[in-house]
Structure 1
């Protein structure tokens, strides 16, 4: 009998306390009325017959949503989007009283779907698959802030994780990207050929200029040097010679031994 009484008391004690974990707060609801006092992380005692402790996370929550988004040209875009948000600690009782425990489904997701549809309807489908994605994310975030900020919700980020375009549009974008890449490659080849032609032109002009300098200056000097050397050799030669010259280039007519 004592054992039964002891176990009953022990079970009653266990049912009259709960643990609020880190990243959570607890709010007591007694006879359907919420208490404005917030219980922080730790052991919280309560009367299980009259009171319930509602635990609400106040750390960042990642809610992933799959939905179809409209585009400006009337296409339907399959998407997967993450919403990062948290709840202001001091507004938890107000949120529970104003929206209820299902605040994510009742309020956050509905606000998000409306904001996302309004924003994406202003953009072409290809914009969601390009560098304008961050702009779309920020506009959805701003729309959600307008509706949720004053109610205790802080939307941190909206991330478009994946966008699936219609097959025909995807193929058209791929063809366009391929054509742009080919055009860039051709432009690179043409530019390379132009530079090579300029290099050859400069090289040819340099060669021609060198030949001109050699023909007009260097060759004449060499001939004059050879003429001087020839005169010198003739002057020192013991043989008899008949030479016709203009003073620069000797021309030997006759030569005989003494």
Structure 2
């Protein structure tokens, strides 16, 4: 009868446990020697609190095991401030209230599209931190919008000059954000909310202007039609004058003869040009 040595059996299991422990330690501590930066991100490197200037772009990188990698988004992002609850970055109503040129308060919905410049990510992390949208972008949006809206009357930003105002906001905001490593892509001035009475009066005025433009178009069209008819009548008058002056008896006789050439049974008889009598052959 075979006898199993307990020490041999436990030694075998102990060896497997040792291998497993070694593999586990390699996975835990070995991962500190590399990092993977996903697409649309950049890795900011810091060593004992000191931020390095060179970022890790997307991909696999070897690193110092004591080095910390903070990943930051470099994709296109948006910051929205809206009068609608829950639509913007904050849950409550977050529209921007600004005064127009005539001192009227208007509420504006705006969306700013931007992205973090990868080569400046370490500067942004060092100087501002990860919440740069709330620390820098939001205050600059509010400041620039109030500065620009103060240059326009309410009816202008409500209608035809909204895009012009949005472009001015873009230009001024870009001047403030670009030096900080944030690149602006677009500014969307999505909605302008005026006081109710003012909005109604502007709508009525715009409707009246459209009606006036329509009537001007009709009058211009009728004036051109009248001019066309005058030119046509003058042409007909001139044509009749020319024709009446050219209708001599000889020309009328010629036209009459011309009209007979296609009539059946017509016989041409030559006449004497001196007395108009028919000429018969042999007489």
TM-score for both structures, normalised by structure 2: 0.63
Question: Is 1:164 matched with 2:181?
Answer: no
Change (3 A) 1:51 1:170: same
Cα offset, 1:180, TM superposition? 2.2
- 2 CA distance for matches of 1:103 and 1:198? 67
- 2 CA distance for matches of 1:209 and 1:39? 87
Structure 2 counterpart of 1:62: 78
Contact 1:69 1:79 in 2 (8 A): no
Unaligned ranges ≥5, structure 2: 1-16, 83-94, 255-274, 279-283
**Please, which of 37, 43, 49 is the counterpart of residue 20 of structure 1?**
37
Structure 2 counterpart of 1:183: 212
Structure 1 counterpart of 2:112: 82
Q: Which has the higher strand share?
A: 1
Structure 1 counterpart of 2:180: 151
Deviation per residue, 1:162-213 (Å, 9 max, x gap): 3333333333333223222222222233233334444444555566667777
- 1 CA distance for matches of 2:105 and 2:166? 19
Deviation per residue, 1:57-88 (Å, 9 max, x gap): 33443333332241223222231222324325
Q: Secondary structure in 2 aligned to 1:37? A: coil
**Please, which of 44, 49, 62 is the counterpart of residue 32 of structure 1?**
49
Unaligned ranges ≥5, structure 1: 226-231, 237-258
- 2 CA distance for matches of 1:139 and 1:214? 68
- 2 CA distance for matches of 1:136 and 1:16? 51
- Equivalences, count: 230
Which deviates more from structure 2 when the two are superposed, residues 103-112 or residues 53-62?
Answer: 53-62
Cα offset, 1:20, TM superposition? 0.7
TM-score for both structures, normalised by structure 1: 0.69
- 1 CA distance for matches of 2:34 and 2:155? 55
Cα offset, 1:218, TM superposition? 4.5
Which deviates more from structure 2 when the two are superposed, residues 79-88 or residues 201-210?
Answer: 201-210
Change (3 A) 1:162 1:72: same
Question: Is 1:6 matched with 2:23?
Answer: yes
The two structures, once aligned, show a CA RMSD in angstroms of: 3.7
Structure 2 counterpart of 1:124: 153
Q: Secondary structure in 2 aligned to 1:105? A: helix
Taking the TM superposition and a 5 Å limit, the aligned residue runs for 1:103-252 are: 103-202=132-231, 218=247
